[in-house]
Amino acid sequence: MIYELAAIEDLQAVYDVVQHTIKMIYPQYYPTEVVDFFCKLHSKDAILNDIKNGFVSVLKIDGKIIATGCFVKNHITRVYVSPEHQKKGYGTFIVKNIEDQISNNYDKAYLDASLPAVALYEKLGFSTVKHERYPVENGVILVHEIMEKELSEQWEWTSENCSKG
């Protein structure tokens, strides 16, 4: 397993993971208009811009990208794990890595959670601070959670941390 910054040549694979995940998972929670909104939000151009700015990381297994994470400042903006690889801890791994990076400069992390992801984020210590309503096509309303988490100082092991028995 390798987790590293995405390169320009990773664009298609990242896009494919994101779009495949949205199209397979989101219809279980949202109407078509909301699924289409998320597909457009995470367009190839948006992902390319984030890669160029160094905001996107990828998780590879046997050289294949199976998940991705993205954040800007202290806002987690995109975490997607291919449906075939969900429920194996990869999303948790990505979020924890992003939290570590954010905690270098900020005390809190924020994210906009889709309905399929709320339970994962709650399990990881995020709390809902606001329910947002966003109109999409045909009068359909996207409801999502604004969540935050206090980030503590990262604990580092030293011999002083270890009690001697």
Mean pLDDT value of segment 62-84: 97
Residue 29 CA to residue 16 CA, distance in Å, equals 20
Concatenate the DSSP letters of all residues of 49-82 into one string: HHHHTT-EEEEEETTEEEEEEEEETTEEEEEEE-
The order of strands in the sheet holding 56-61 is 2-5, 56-61, 64-72, 75-81, 108-113, 141-150, 127-135
Q: Is residue 33 part of a domain?
A: yes
Q: Is residue 160 part of a domain?
A: no
Residue 109 CA to residue 102 CA, distance in Å, equals 7
CATH of the domain at 102: 3.40.630.30
Measured from the Cβ of residue 88, the count of other Cβ atoms closer than 10 Å reads: 13
Q: Is residue 36 part of a domain?
A: yes
pLDDT at residue 93 above 90?
yes
pTM of the model as a whole: 0.89
pLDDT at residue 8 above 90?
yes
Q: What is the pLDDT of residues 99-128, one digit of tens each?
A: 999 999 999 999 999 999 999 999 999 999
* Full residue range of the structural domain in which residue 106 is found: 2-152
